[in-house]
Amino acid sequence: MFFTTTIKLTTLLQSLLILANMSAASNTTTTTIPPFTLSAPTGTDIWRKPPSHNTFNAPTHPSHLPVYTLKSFHRAKLTFALPPASQLRQYDQAGLLLHFTKPGLADNQTKWIKTGIEFYYGKPYVATVGCDAWADWSLTPDPSFESHSSSDARPAATIEAKREEDGLGKSLWVYLIVKDGTGKEVERRPLREVNWAFAEEEGWSVGIGGYVCRPTEEGGEEELTAEFGEGVEIEVLKE
């Protein structure tokens, strides 16, 4: 009798979990921007550093980013690849861009988060930059990149930025999505928690898309091209 009751309770809990997941899924809408290739000329960057440096001239795709209310943002994900290391320069980069704007806000006061791969002193790293007032920058080595500094392999990654909440409040988490040989997700590797992202949501919007930068002009005028083979997946909460 006890065994039968336990099975029934387990089945009930599983059913409730499935219903909860279905309910959660029905509260969001997912849009996918089709796969694309994006190129950046030299001298392009997204960077803000005191006392006065403020650059935001990198190509994005779409060129006019799709904009959503910040309150509705749930997550964004993309997969992309850079050229082999032999073709990369210092600070070459590509990835996911979130651009936070508000009516009446000056261009030099907008906020943004960019996360992807950046080439730094001969090696590709997973890089995340968050800019509230000024930009900060973090680099994370990834074992899958170890051979990329001396081979024709193309540094590639799947990156996701997601709204999350715990007992202390809400934040945006950036993850590196690790896949197996079949493309199946096997790990969500946490890279960065950005606590200011949802501190003030009322009146704010967020533009979402892919970006490419080639800040360094030394080495010629050749453009940097990245391939975004799965496009951009954007999930927003229904308002």
| Domain assignment of residue 24, yes or no | no
Per-residue pLDDT at 152: 79
Is 144 part of a structural domain of the chain?
yes
pLDDT confidence of residue 146: 67
What span, in angstroms and rounded, lies between the C-alpha atoms of 204 and 70? 6
Spatial neighbors of 236 by CB under 8 A, at least 6 apart, are 28, 29, 31, 68, 72, 73, 74
Residue 21 located in a structural domain = no
Structure-block tokens of residue 34:
């089709």
Which helix or strand (DSSP H or E) is residue 2 part of?
helix 2-26
Evaluate whether residue 96 is within a structural domain: yes
Q: 42 lies in which domain range?
A: 29-237
Residue type, 132: D
Q: Is residue 22 part of a domain?
A: no
Predicted local confidence at residue 135, as pLDDT: 97
> Would you list the DSSP string of 143-199?
GGGTTGGGSSPPPEEEEEEEEEEETTEEEEEEEEEEE-TTS-EEEEEEEEEESSTTT
Q: Which two tokens stand for residue 103?
A: 């009516």
In a domain, 11, yes or no: no
Q: Is residue 2 part of a domain?
A: no
CA distance linking residue 22 with residue 4, whole number of Å: 27
| Residue 20 pLDDT | 39
- What CATH number does residue 174 fall under? 2.60.120
Q: Which residues contact 128 (CB under 8 A, 6 or more apart)?
A: 113, 114, 115, 137, 138, 140, 174, 191, 192
> Is position 5 within any domain?
no
3-state class of 112 per DSSP? strand
Write the CA distances from 161 to 15, 76, 152, 218, 236, integer angstroms.
29, 5, 29, 32, 12
Q: Structure tokens of 142? A: 């990834």
The parts of the chain modelled with pLDDT lower than 70 are 1-25, 146-151
Can you give the pLDDT at residue 45?
Answer: 98
Domain total in the chain: 1
Residue identified by tokens 């890089």 is 127
